[in-house]
Amino acid sequence: MDDAEAVARSLAGDLSAYEALVARYSALAQRTAAMLGAGDEAEDVVQEAFVKAYRHLASFRADAPFRPWLLRIVANETHNLTRSRGRRSELTVRLGAQAPVTAPDDPEGTAVASDRRARLLEAVRKLPDREREAVVCRYFLQLSEAETAQVLDCPLGSVKSRTHRGLARLREEVGGSGL
Amino acid sequence: MDSDDFGDLERELLALGDSLEVTGPPPAEVASAVRARLQAPDPAHDAPASPAVQPERPVKPLSKVRRWQLVAAVVVLALALTAAAVVWVLRSTGVEIRVNDPSPSPTVTREIPGARSADLEEAARQVGFTPKVPAALGEPSEILVGDGRVVSMFWDHVRLDQFAGGVSPMFVKQLGGPEWPEEVLVNGAHGWWIAEAHNLTYVTKGNGETTPLRVADSTLVWGDDVTGYRLEGVKTLQDAHRIATSLR
């Protein structure tokens, strides 16, 4: 059952089909919410987003991709949450997996690399909101420019310029490639 | 757009993104929680706004009992969902350290499955490598071989485990709090110093069965390219480091 079929069946009232869509996208939705600033409340945001998506399913264009449409709802819910909490939307995830720390050939190099990664993450976290969101969508969520534009609800040109400004700032902050 | 100028940085960001782990409830759990909410009474609100189509199963008003059951189900799910958090996973040879991953503490202490007493020679024969002894501690009072691949040596309150390291972890250490262990070098090999008590689990060779071992004391883990080590029970990093670098 592909997305289009699952959406069609959900619209016809088939909750099992919608459940399949939720299961398919829940990890990505969770990641998106956490990375756009939902923090500990990412689970609530995700659940709310899926409920809202279901209610608005009729407004979804059947020939459009479901993924960015859903993630835009997740992004909106995250914004609502951070606004209601009166806090800046922050990148709340932190470094997850490390490369094996015992790189046999170059242990010091591994330490340098993980330090650089931590600094790069810190630099991303400190970017202005709009630039950070564009960088997060493009590289951490690996969305296309078009998808990013849809998720962040801005023109394609803005995605390009925000990403570009963000990258320039990151380069300034952490320097050229150390890897 | 001169995006090519940023090629290296873009690749770094992609790799960084891959290393960011966000954990949440299992997808099936999210799906059933969402379904439970959509099936809650208030069909006018929850049905997709598609006038032409009737829901497959008409939503009837719930009896009082069923409504209560539904609320209970949603509450349980909500509790399960809020427990999820961001876990950081660090690795050393044969050891996985999970930071910010609270788990119930083992109530009993277990030894590695199949652990048997052995002398150094017998231990070497069983595990296929020559175990080292830290000169700083002298001869161990006891040696065990567990699961046919871990040599454990014991002194007063101190324990050293040695194992041929692979990609998949044999030991999983769960740190409840968000603080990272301290990254250290032991004779040029990378390691981690975990000052706090933490839950220790063993992953059995072959079938991957997990055995909660105990609440482990402060531990230094490190590894060279083939062998992993964990030194448990030494109070300070300085002492642990001194013992670790005295392996002969």
% helix, strand, coil for chain B, step of 5: 25, 30, 45
Q: Please check the confidence at residue A166 and state whether its pLDDT lies above 50.
A: yes
Average pLDDT of chain A is 84
Q: Exposed, middle or buried: residue B138 (CB in 10 Å: 0-12, 13-18, 19+)?
A: exposed
For residue B130 the two structure tokens come to: 């020559």
Contacts 24+ apart (CB under 8 A), B125-134: B127/B151, B127/B162, B127/B163, B127/B164, B128/B164, B129/B162, B129/B164, B129/B226, B129/B227, B131/B162, B132/B162, B132/B247, B132/B248, B133/B247, B133/B248, B134/B160, B134/B231, B134/B243, B134/B244, B134/B246, B134/B247, B134/B248
Q: Is the domain A3-84 a CATH 1.10.1740.10 member?
A: yes
All residues of chain A having their beta carbon less than 8 Å from the beta carbon of residue B21 are 93, 96-97
CATH of A107-174, one of 1.25.40.10, 3.30.70.3270, 1.10.1740.10, 1.10.10.10: 1.10.10.10
The runs of H, that is alpha helices, within chain B are 7-18, 27-39, 43-46, 64-82, 120-127, 237-244
> Measured between CB atoms, does B37 come within 8 Å of chain A?
yes
Torsion of CA A49, A53, A59, A61, to 10 degrees: 100
Predicted local distance difference test score (pLDDT) of residue B99: 84
For residue B200 the two structure tokens come to: 């220790």
Predicted local distance difference test score (pLDDT) of residue B82: 41
Using the structure block, give the residue that is written with the tokens 């909490």: A85
Predicted local distance difference test score (pLDDT) of residue A157: 94
DSSP-derived secondary structure letter, B94 = T
Out of A17-21, A94-98, A157-161, B206-210, pick the least confident: A94-98
Q: Are B30 and A18 an interchain contact pair (Cβ–Cβ within 8 Å)?
A: no
- pLDDT single digits (tens) A105-129: 555 555 666 778 888 988 998 899 8
Q: Are A34 and B54 an interchain contact pair (Cβ–Cβ within 8 Å)?
A: no
Q: Please check the confidence at residue A96 and state whether its pLDDT lies above 50.
A: no
CB nearest A57 (choices: B22, B48, B190): B48
Per-residue pLDDT of chain B (248 residues; tens, 9 = 90+): 444 578 889 999 998 888 887 878 888 888 988 988 888 765 444 445 443 333 333 333 333 334 434 444 444 433 334 444 567 778 888 898 888 888 888 877 888 988 889 999 999 999 999 999 999 999 999 999 999 999 999 998 899 999 987 667 899 999 988 788 888 888 888 889 999 889 999 998 878 888 889 889 999 999 877 899 999 999 999 999 999 999 99
Are A136 and A130 spatial neighbours (Cβ–Cβ below 8 Å)? no
Alpha carbon of A143: minimum distance to chain B alpha carbons (Å): 11
Q: Are A26 and B31 an interchain contact pair (Cβ–Cβ within 8 Å)?
A: yes
Q: How far is CA B125 from CA B131, B133, B171, B186, B234, in A?
A: 10, 16, 22, 26, 28
Q: Please check the confidence at residue A93 and state whether its pLDDT lies above 70.
A: no
CB nearest A142 (choices: B17, B222, B224): B17
Q: Please give the residue that has the higher pLDDT: either B208 or A25.
A: A25
Nearest CA in chain A to B27: A23
CB nearest B85 (choices: A40, A59, A171): A40
CB nearest A58 (choices: B12, B48, B82): B48
ipTM score here? Answer: 0.85
A107-174 matches A3-84 in CATH topology: no
Are A50 and A159 spatial neighbours (Cβ–Cβ below 8 Å)? no
Out of A142-146, A173-177, B125-129, B148-152, pick the least confident: A173-177
Q: Are A124 and B53 an interchain contact pair (Cβ–Cβ within 8 Å)?
A: no
All residues of chain A having their beta carbon less than 8 Å from the beta carbon of residue B15 are 117
Task: Give, rounded to a whole angstrom, the gap between the first and last alpha carbons of chain A.
Answer: 42
Q: At what angle do helices A42-55 and A15-33 cross, to 10 degrees?
A: 140
- Cβ neighbour number for residue B18 with a 10 Å cutoff: 13
> Measured between CB atoms, does B74 come within 8 Å of chain A?
no
- pLDDT single digits (tens) A30-76: 999 988 888 778 888 999 999 999 988 888 887 788 999 999 999 99
Q: Are A171 and B9 an interchain contact pair (Cβ–Cβ within 8 Å)?
A: yes
- Optimal mutation site among B3, B4, B5, B9, interface A, most CBs of chain A within 10 A: B9
Residue spans per domain, chain B: 24-82, 88-244
Question: What is the C-alpha separation between B94 and B154, in angstroms, rounded?
Answer: 20
Predicted local distance difference test score (pLDDT) of residue B219: 95
Q: Order across the sheet with B88-92: list the strands.
A: B88-92, B95-99, B171-175, B198-203, B210-216
All residues of chain B having their beta carbon less than 8 Å from the beta carbon of residue A124 are 13, 16
Q: Counting one residue from A and one from B, how many pairs have CB atoms under 8 Å apart? A: 205
- Optimal mutation site among A102, A140, A160, A170, interface B, most CBs of chain B within 10 A: A102
Residue spans per domain, chain A: 3-84, 107-174
Using the structure block, give the residue that is written with the tokens 């590289």: A139
Q: Please give the residue that has the higher pLDDT: either B161 or A95.
A: B161
CB nearest B27 (choices: A23, A35, A58): A23
